[in-house]
Structure formats: structure tokens, C-alpha cells
Amino acid sequence: MSRGTLGPKLRLSLTAAAQSGRAVLTRLYLLPFMRWRFGRGDPEKLVLAPQDLRAADPTRAAELVLGRFTFVAKTIVLNEVSPFAIAPPSPAWRETLLGFTWLRHLRAADGTAGKQVARRLVGDFVRSNLRFQPEALDPLLTARRLLAWVSMAPMILDGADRGFYRAFLRSVAWQTSYLLHAGRATTDGMPRLLCAIAVMQVSLCLSNKAGLRRPALRWLTAELNRQILADGIHISRNPQANIELLLDLLPLRQSFAARNAVAPPELIGAIDRMMPMLRFFRHADGAFAAFNGMGYTQSHLIATLLAYDDARGKPVQNAPHGGYQRLEANGAVLLVDTGKPPPVNVSQEAHAGTLAFEFSADNFRIVVNCGAPAPGRENWRHLARSTGAHSTAIVADASSSHFAGGTRKPGATAPSLGGRAILSGPKHVPVQRENSPAASTITASHDGYRHDYGLIHQRELTLSQITGALEGRDSFLDHKSEPWKGKEPVLLRFHLHPAVAARPANGDTQIVITLPSGKEWLFLADVPFTLAETAHLANPEGPRRSVQIVMTLPEGGHTMSWAFLPADPV
């Protein structure tokens, strides 16, 4: 057993046991003699329909009207059969169906067809045997479904008879009361916070639900205080979480105003902290850096959210609580992961990428991480989370964090958590910043390899304020800060974005990187390097082939220096 993992393994076991207990409790809530407690006090009417900030796609709307259901890269074509009555092609397809996040596309359908289909499909669910099944009442899916239903209620209820209207309201009220109990016991992190958001939102949308509003408010504020860190980054350290949560928190803030209710300061404060992080994680081309579960950036969503940013200022440069650093100069942007892994109970999507960086210049990304794969490409996720999929150092082909299953390989399995949680990793990640008119420097180190290999990785990154050039020095030290004497292979990887081209030049002593604009950058290093294949995973269509620069620590050496320079500095 590796040293330093016993404590996290115990926490993982306790977390898994708690999840099992919560699953039993959720099933208990669904027993017939328990359901009555969630059905008391039917609402009289729906008084508010919150705005859905996610865009509707007319093409998706046309497909749904024709009975073509495409979720997570799998399509089923139905005629008069309800999608809730068929065997799903995959569990992920069924989860997407039951979450109803696709319902918004029907508002883009021509004429009344979208309204009719929306009403029919919602009615199918309300009348189906699924409505009391554990798979349909998974708390996260229930939260998504409720938010979709209340935001799309004007479309669903337009033209509905009184019987449908009453059945719809009863279902919404029952699911919300159920979620108030079951949601508190769901997976920690963003799923639990989304449940709290959904209950709070529905309590504002329904009449005569003041009794629900008070516990919903207490739950929401507690989760916001716990999960949104002081610098505005979510506790999971996943930039995608900020995007997804803001898409639901901003309409919630509007709902308080629409009901002439005072929004809690915890909600206002969380939004105010989170909004600047949208600019913090953005590259020169507008895409988010691919850290800790972040995949493809949906630029239209970012544009929508930034429209709510009243400050519209420059990005902050330092996020010490979330564990990230940013430098920018002369059109170049450097983003660095300088954080420890998140707590084990919210680490299911976290990556082993400490000290990895991404670099963009001249409006194009140059150095990236592989990123999280698109939905439906889960077979790539274990690779995406490994240290080798990041632009940083890797020792003995082992990740800098231990994944569940007693390994540094994230593909291993573990009961109840699917092998996804990070048990242990870097414990100390000191960071220093130095700024001058000529350059800005970040110096950081991590001890993720200390227990197994006796190695401390130190990285110094300097961005020129004049040219935007990036210079780096990676040092490998022992616990006394002396040169590391180990024999295990140490590699530096720089994954290049698939939009750039790379070729050796000048007798293989440098690499020429050509941007889509035609502008060239040079890579230089003080040790031999090679070009190798890699895959950029953060793409909606699936992995894209690309190349990476690989440097190998020479035998007896303990440092590697390198630079990315504009070929024609201005």
C-alpha cells in the first residue's frame, strides 16, 4: 500500500458507504406508503416561468417533432411510441431523456408543433410507470427535469386543458417536495447544489408554497457558502461547473426580483464571485482552459453569461483558493493549474494535472491539455484524467495523483465510485508570483511524486511583457531541495492544439509551430525532444488527432529548460 493513501481511502470508504445509505434512503422515499408525505398541498397555479439562458436549436426541434431522439451520439426514431416506453440504447441516453434538458429546443419549432409535442411528452412521463422508479427520480435528473419544466411551462401549458394543467402542477409539486428530502442525500458537489437551486426556483414559481421556500432557502445558502470558494471557483475545481451553475443561478436571481422578494446575500455574493472567473479561464480565442473536467467550450453560452457581467473588467490574475494562476502580455495568455486535488467526495471528475499549463497567443491556442471528452465518449475519460494527458511533467508513466482502486491509473474501479475519485495527490503546492515591466513569473512546485519516487517537481514560467514569449524551467528535486538522483524516466509533455501545425527545423534543434493565421512560433529546449502523436479530446465530434512535444530528462540531469518564442517578434 502506498504511503499517504490510507486516510483518503478511509474517507472514500466512508463516502461510498454514505452513498449506499443514501441510495437506500432514496428507495425508501419511493415506497407507496411514503409517497403521500410529498403530495400534500397542491399548488393553485404557476405564477412564474424563469428564463432559460440555454439556446434552442431549430434543427434539434425539427428532429424531435419528427420523433427523432438523438442523445449522447445515439439516435432512436419513434413514430407513435413514447420514448419512455422503449428500451434505451444506453444508460446515458435514458438519463438525458429523463432530465428533459432537450425540451427547450421545441420552443424553436415551427407553428404549434413544438408545443403539442412538448405537452405530449411531458404528459407521457407524468402518466408513465417511470415516474416513481428510482432511475427517473435520481435527484440530479429530477432537478434538471424540474428546471426544464418550469422554464418551458408557457410552451407546455399553452392550449392545455384544465385536467392536464392540474396534473402538471401536482407532478411538479410532488417532485419538488421529494427533491427537498432526497436531494440533500445525493452526490456531493454540483449535483447537490443543483438540487438546491431547483427546489428554490420551483418554490418561487408555484403559488401557496411559502412553507417550501423557507427550508429551500436555508439549504441553498448553505450549499453556496460551502461550494463556491472565496475566489469564485467551484469546490470541484472544474471550470465547467462555473458555467453550468451560472446558467441556473442567474435566472434564480431574476425570479426573486420577479416575486418582489429579496435575494439572499449568499446568492448575490456567489454570482458576484463567479462571474469574473468566466474571463479568468478564457484564452485569447475565447475558449476555456481544459482543466479538471472542462471539455469543449460552447462559446454562445459564455457570450450569454458575459452579457450579465456588469463589471466587464479585465480578468483577475490570481485564484489562490481554486488553485489557478493567469498571466497575460502582448496578446499572449498563460493559465496554470497550481492547486491540490479537490476533496475526495467531489473529485470524481478531477484530473491529475497539477502544474499543467495552457498557452495561447495571437488569438490561437498553442499549448493545451487534452481536455474532457464529449458526452457519449466515456471510454476516453480515464485517459483524459491522467497526468500524461496534460502539459506537465510525468514520472514513470504514473499520474501525480492516486485514483480509487489503489493506483495512479484512473481506469481502475472501486465500489460505488466507479474508480473515479482521487484518493490522494499533491499535498503542498507553494506558489510565488513576480511581476516587472519586462516579464511576469510564476514559480510553483508539487510533491505528488514524493512518496513513491522521492521527487518534487518545480516549475518556473516566465511570460515576456514585450513579446509574449514563454520561457520555462522544470526542476526535479528531492525532499531537501537537492538534485533528484532517481532512475525512473521523467518526461515533459506539451500537447499542441490540433489547429496548429508543427515541424522540426534547423537540424532538429527547434520546432516551428504555424498558427492558422500563418504566423510562426518557435520551440527551443536545452535537452533533446521529439514530436509524437496525441489526441485532443475536448471536441464535440470526438477526439481530434494532434501532436505533442516530448522532452526526456537526461540521465544524471535534474533540470529542463525550454521556450516558446514568436519567430518574428514585433
Q: What is the pLDDT of residues 114-123, one digit of tens each?
A: 999 999 999 9
Mention every residue, 6+ apart, whose C-beta is less than 8 A from residue 348.
Answer: 187, 189, 417, 418, 420, 421
SS3 content of the chain, % helix, strand, coil (to 5): 40, 20, 40
**What's the whole-number average pLDDT of the chain?**
90
CA-based torsion, 529, 371, 537, 395: positive or negative: positive
pLDDT of residue 8: 58
Q: Which residue segments constitute the domains of the chain, with CATH numbers given?
A: 43-186 (no CATH), 318-566 (2.70.98.70)
pLDDT band at 144 (very low <50, low <70, confident <90, very high): very high
CA dist., res. 77 & res. 380, Å (int): 27
Question: Residue 10: is its pLDDT beyond 90?
Answer: no
pLDDT band at 211 (very low <50, low <70, confident <90, very high): confident
Q: What percent of the chain has pLDDT over 70?
A: 89
CA dist., res. 43 & res. 388, Å (int): 54
- Which range, of 76-80, 252-256, 509-513, averages the lowest pLDDT? 76-80
Q: Residues 47-93: pLDDT tens digits?
A: 999 999 999 999 999 999 999 999 988 999 998 899 999 999 999 99
pLDDT of residue 202: 97
Q: Residues 441-500: pLDDT tens digits?
A: 999 999 999 999 999 999 999 999 999 999 999 999 999 999 999 999 999 999 999 999
CA dist., res. 271 & res. 264, Å (int): 11
pLDDT of residue 477: 97
Q: Give 368's strand partners.
A: 495
pLDDT of residue 378: 78
Task: Please report where in the chains the cell 532538429 appears, as a residue.
Answer: 508
pLDDT of residue 1: 39
CA dist., res. 550 & res. 492, Å (int): 6
| Residue 188: closest CA among 147, 222, 150 | 222
Cα angle for residues 350, 351, 355 (degrees, 5° grid): 125
pLDDT band at 206 (very low <50, low <70, confident <90, very high): very high
* Position 392, amino acid: T
Task: Please report where in the chains the cell 445558502 appears, as a residue.
Answer: 221
Q: Residues 36-45: pLDDT tens digits?
A: 454 555 677 9
* 132 class by beta-carbon count within 10 Å (0-12 exposed, 13-18 middle, 19+ buried): middle
Entry pTM? 0.92
CA dist., res. 382 & res. 155, Å (int): 40
Task: Find the DSSP H helices in 206-318.
Answer: 210-227, 239-258, 265-280, 299-306
Residue bearing the bigger pLDDT, 10 or 241: 241
Instruction: Tell me which long-range contacts 516-522 makes (C-beta under 8 A, separation of at least 24).
Output: 516/364, 517/362, 517/363, 517/364, 519/362, 519/566, 519/567, 519/568, 520/566, 520/567, 520/568, 521/361, 521/366, 521/564, 521/565, 521/566, 521/567, 522/563, 522/564, 522/565, 522/566, 522/567
Question: Residue 414: is its pLDDT beyond 50?
Answer: no
Question: Residue 31: is its pLDDT beyond 60?
Answer: no
pLDDT of residue 253: 98
* 111 class by beta-carbon count within 10 Å (0-12 exposed, 13-18 middle, 19+ buried): exposed
pLDDT band at 110 (very low <50, low <70, confident <90, very high): confident
